[in-house]
Amino acid sequence: MIEPVKEFHHALKIREDVCIGCTHCMKVCPTEAIRIKNGKAVLSNNRCVDCGECFRACPVLAIIIEQDDFDKIFSYPIRVALVPSVFIGQFPKTISTEQIYSELMGLGFTHIYEIEHSVDILADQINPYMDDHDDSKPVISSFCPAIVRLIQVKFPALVENILLLKAPLDIAAIYNKKKFSDLGYKEDEIGLFYITPCAAKIAAIKSPVGDEKSDVTGVINMNTLYNKVYSGIKQNDKETCPVPTRKFLSPQNILWTLTRGESENAKGRSIAVDGIHNVIEFLDKLENEDLPHFDFLEMRACDESCAGGVLISGNRFLTVRRLHLRAEAAARKIIRGIEPEEDILTEKSFLLANIRVAKVKPRSIVKLDDDMLEAMKKMKKVHELLRHLPLVDCGTCGSPKCASLAEDVVQGNANIAQCIFVQKLLEKRKIFTKEESHQVLENIWGKEKFENKWNVELDF
């Protein structure tokens, strides 16, 4: 059964005052969530999965990613920075992890916790989960929230395959909340702030899938915090405050958030796919049973996974290289007999009791109506309209493709006369005047695009 449509929370916002209606965002959106109306990009909330492709593509920075105000951390006596390993990987090797920790504390955090410490809890549960869900293979990782939402809206038949275990971020948040609660702090005194490399994780925290509420208190843009930390270290050129005792991560934990970090630890046949358009192509083949059998699919929306997040400051390939070097250093410590000491394992029973998430429900954007008979009638109309459209997907109508324009028309959100080819045909048949065609184009692209800005004589 399809879940009644309700709006997702979205971290991505379009600034109408800055947008120039250039269609860059519309053309790259993997779920066709953007239209152009009156010269501005408009986001369809129920289609958007917060992958951030539009954010990357916008040439005028009209698309922004909302975050919590940094000063929000000071509302809590306990202020924990939940730091992913890719944040550490942003910094050149001349800057030590201790310096980064020190500067974070200098900015106001009372504790630093690298999220990947929680991988030890999750990693041991994936293979038993796969054994228990042999009829739902391939099991699809739930690590990337953009992929979870993508499956909900574009591949609803595959929601049964999603791994219903919490991601490392959520496990780390649960652990830290319990740790400080056990020390006597009240819930409203514990602030857990995630340093995010992407918009999808902001959206997942604000409106989690499979949970009523996230244990994470707030979200801080990684790019913003990186600049604060880096400039602070350069200005001070030394540790600015005491550094907390730091447990080093195992190689597996360090590499978990990178491409193949998760799939290499799954038994059976597994594969890793990164880049949301690559994921869509792969899932299309999976739905059509055009692939060999796999037991586990690791799917990430960004190229090079979290190292390629839209809020990453540095080069993703350098970040990956630095994290591999960090993993190699950790491996050498283990060879010397220095084993990682994971305090989180003392709460393993508690965390395992809370590691499951509720069943993920589909939110299909493919269906045209809740009523099956009505949906079939609408689909027939879509096919009829497509016979009158040029199928060139030029985007001049304000929709990304001819097929999406046909769907918009059937749903009452557009008019077939928005197609410039149809307009010219109507003009030729004396059904439309040139003035009427011009008015339709103005409604899509705005009056400004049809102004003679330089007041020059046009010879055509």
Task: Encode pLDDT of 192-243 as tens digits.
Answer: 999 999 999 999 999 898 888 899 999 999 999 999 999 998 887 555 556 6
pLDDT at 5 over 60: no
Is residue 1's pLDDT more than 50? no
Chain segment 13-35, per-residue pLDDT in tens:
999 999 999 999 999 999 999 99
For residues 82-89, average pLDDT: 96
| pLDDT at res. 290 | 86
Contact 119, 344 (CB under 8 A): no
pLDDT > 90: percent of the chain: 78
pLDDT of residue 324: 96
Q: How far apart are CA 249 and CA 255, in angstroms?
A: 10
Q: Tell me what pLDDT residue 457 has.
A: 62
Average pLDDT for the chain: 91
pLDDT higher than threshold 90 for residue 410: yes
Burial class of residue 331 (count of CB atoms within 10 Å of its CB; 0-12, 13-18, 19+): middle
Instruction: Note the pLDDT of residue 399.
Output: 96
Residue 454 clears pLDDT 80, i.e. is over it:
no
133-177 per-position pLDDT tens digit: 988 899 999 999 999 999 999 999 999 999 999 999 999 999 999
- Encoding tokens for residue 223? 């790019």
pLDDT in tens, 341-383: 778 999 999 999 999 999 999 987 777 888 889 989 999 999 9
Higher pLDDT, 75 or 289: 75
Task: Judge contact between 115 and 81, C-beta under 8 A.
Answer: no
CA dist list (Å): 121 to 125, 165, 313, 390 = 7, 11, 29, 54
List domains and CATH numbers for the chain.
Answer: 12-65 (3.30.70.20), 70-353 (no CATH), 372-450 (no CATH)
pLDDT at 393: 95
Q: Which of the residue ranges 62-66, 300-304, 361-365, 449-453 would you say has the lowest mean pLDDT?
A: 449-453
Instruction: Name the token pair of 163.
Output: 């791994």
* CA dist., res. 10 & res. 19, Å (int): 18
Ranking 42-51, 244-253, 273-282, 298-307 by mean pLDDT, the lowest is: 244-253
State the Cα–Cα distance between residues 372 and 51, nearest whole angstrom. 30
Q: How confident is the model at residue 8 (pLDDT cuts 50, 70, 90)?
A: confident
Q: Is the pLDDT of residue 101 over 70?
A: yes
Q: Please tell me the pTM assigned to this model.
A: 0.91
Task: Label residues 261-270 b or e (16+ Cβ within 10 Å = b).
Answer: bbbebbeeeb
pLDDT > 70: what percent of the chain? 94
